[in-house]
Amino acid sequence: MKTNILQKILLLPFIAILLSACTTEMDSFSLQNTVFVEDVENPGLPIYSEWGYNTFGVYIDRVPFVSDYSVLPAKIIVNSDTINIILKGRMNYTSETLKFSFIDYPINDFSGLKVLNDSVLNMKGNKCIVTLTRNNVSDTLKIIEGDFYIKRVQDLYVDKQHTKAIISGTFKFKFFLDNEPVAASDGRFDLGIGYNNFYNY
């Protein structure tokens, strides 16, 4: 009986080491996942968060356009001095993409996204182009008004290595779609941007 108890006590450190190794692997994998927690005050949209949940959502004329579990929800592509923030998701069970292109933001890598912390980017005017892609057809939207607020940019370190920038914020805008004014409201995003989804070329 005492031998059994002693064996179990000696096994505890080994089990703890094994579990911590598994947890590290799972944590590394979970950084890529989409964690969708619904906002009870805005049904169909994710809550606003700053945890790198890899989610976004916005009402387009009261219909939710949200990130999808099966598709990488966001990419940032920098061409010369233009930063393109690309959101891929679903609306009414159809795949759609919103691309926000902001001019005069030359950023070399994802660690440079910190310069956008607490920035309000105006969508109206010639410094911003918004493109909506539906059914493989892209439309450049005529913006009536709108703001893209990057509220917080955080650095995420894993094993003392800078792994991602977490960018979180809100957006809303009005635009013409099929010659009719449309409102995109209550937009929010919480995105992990790193090696796998940041491009500069």
Q: Based on the fold, state whether residues 97 and 191 are members of the same structural domain.
A: yes
Q: What is the pLDDT of residue 33?
A: 85
Q: Per the structure, how many domains does the chain have? A: 2
- Please tell me whether residues 26 and 62 are part of one structural domain: no
Do 90 and 13 have their domain in common?
no
pTM: 0.83
Query: Could you report the per-residue pLDDT of 123-175, keeping only the tens digit for each?
Result: 998 899 999 999 899 999 999 999 999 999 999 999 888 899 999 999 999 99
Q: Give the tokens for residue 11.
A: 């096994």
Same domain, 3 and 91: no
CB-neighbour burial class of residue 193 (10 A; exposed 0-12, middle 13-18, buried 19+) = buried
- β-pairing verdict for 74-79 and 198-200: parallel
- Across the chain, mean pLDDT equals 88
Same domain for 119 and 98? yes
Residues 19 and 114 occupy one common structural domain? no
Provide the domain limits for residue 9: 1-30
Same domain, 83 and 181: yes
Residue 69's pLDDT is what? Answer: 87
Residues 88 and 73 occupy one common structural domain: yes
Q: How far is CA 48 from CA 9, 54, 178, 192, in A?
A: 45, 11, 30, 14
pLDDT of residue 12: 44
22 and 84 inside one domain = no
- The per-residue pLDDT for 3 is 52
pLDDT tens per residue across all 201 residues of the chain: 555 554 544 444 444 444 444 434 434 445 568 999 999 999 999 999 999 999 999 999 999 999 988 889 999 999 989 999 999 999 999 999 999 999 999 899 999 999 999 999 999 988 999 999 998 999 999 999 999 999 999 999 998 888 999 999 999 999 999 899 999 999 999 999 999 999 999
165: β partners: 155, 193
Query: Are 14 and 107 contained in the same domain?
Result: no
Is residue 90 located within the same domain as residue 9?
Answer: no
One domain, residues 164 and 118: yes
Using only C-alpha atoms, the chain has a radius of gyration, in whole angstroms, of 21
10 Å CB burial of residue 35 (0-12, 13-18, 19+) is middle
The whole-angstrom separation of Cα 127 and Cα 112 is: 20
